[in-house]
Chains A and B, each alone.
Chain A
Amino acid sequence: MSAARVGVLVFPGSLDDRDMLRGLELCGAEAQFLWHKDARLPESLDGIGVPGGFSYGDYLRCGAMARFSPVMRAVLEFAQSGKPVLGVCNGFQILCEAGLLPGVLVRNRDLKYVCQDVRVAVEDPGKFRAELPAGRGLVMPVKHGEGAYVPDPDHKPRVAFRYVGGSPNGSTDDIAGVANAAGNVVGLMPHPEHATDPLLGSSDGGALLRSFLAACVAARTRR
């Protein structure tokens, strides 16, 4: 089976794009950057990663402007066709603003930018389940000022990950990440790409990235 071919979106202000690309490569993917102005995705793409950062300076609301960049229309179609999309941090905010995931992320409860390792427990990560059985604990870093998840009152979220021992940001019900109803789009605030080597303090993020890549390959063979 050939490696999953994944694209990592790059917006003005993305800053974890290289880490995400490298993390995915470490986990066996063939990864390439996708520029925000490209309205068309490369052929034979298996999955898309939306990285963290401060796209468009976080102007208006985090992720609100990125949603209207040319590449996002293609990403919307890609996700709606059932292909896997993973959003991390600002990428999670963008997917929420774009309507691919329910809810929204707001300012941390204590107005403090948090930068620390957290432990999350896996609940229902949709199709990203290869190495993520329910109940598995993962240690990964968070670094954000606006990571408090607020669910859409009309749309109960499918909780993919929950903070263990309380959230660092005031998230509703300690939600750290959610999946869409179809299970092919997952977003979370903690950074798996920063936890891919014991030297970084944890390699638990690798399990999440490999599960994303396994979902990418599975979606390809179904085609």
Chain B
Amino acid sequence: MKLRVLVSLKPGVLDAQGRAIEHALRDLGYTQVSGVRTGKLIVLDLDTPDPEKARALAAEACEKLLANPVIEQYEILS
């Protein structure tokens, strides 16, 4: 099965890329945009039919490698 993992900077950690995108959007006239945060989507192909096991495995991968807990948070999407 496939699991998608969304890794992003924790709130409060400066997202320089998000801020640059926000400025560009405002320059384009989208003045309603008052904040942009970026992240990365990682798609895992897992050789297990058991959704619970798959999620546990994905969470472990996030803790060990995919996210750095000092600055990043992760969310496991289906």
Contact = CB atoms under 8 A, between A and B. Distances in A.
A104 B65 CA distance: 14
Contact of A60 (B20, B66, B71): B66
B71 A150 contact: yes
A109 B14 contact: yes
A107 interface: yes
Contacts, number: 34
A111 B23 CA distance: 13
B28 interface: no
B16 interface: yes
Nearest to A150: B71
B68 A61 contact: yes
A152 interface: yes
Contacts of A170: 14, 16
The bracket for how many chain B residues form the interface is 10 to 19
Contacts of B66: 60
Contact of B17 (A97, A103, A111): A111
A107 B70 contact: no
Interface in B8-26: 9, 13-14, 16-17, 20
B17 A106 contact: no
Given A104-B70, A150-B13, A152-B70, A64 B65 contact: yes
Main SS class of interface, A:
loop
Contact of A111 (B16, B68, B71): B16
The bracket for how many chain A residues form the interface is 10 to 19
Interface in A82-118: 97, 103-104, 106-111
A64 B72 CA distance: 13
A153 B13 CA distance: 11
B1 to A, nearest CB: 22
Given A60-B65, A106-B16, A150-B13, 13 more contacts: A68-B65, A97-B68, A103-B70, A104-B68, A106-B9, A106-B14, A107-B16, A107-B17, A108-B16, A110-B16, A111-B20, A150-B70, A153-B70
Interface of A: 60-61, 64, 68, 97, 103-104, 106-111, 148, 150, 152-153, 170
7 contacts: A60-B66, A103-B70, A106-B13, A106-B16, A110-B16, A150-B13, A153-B70
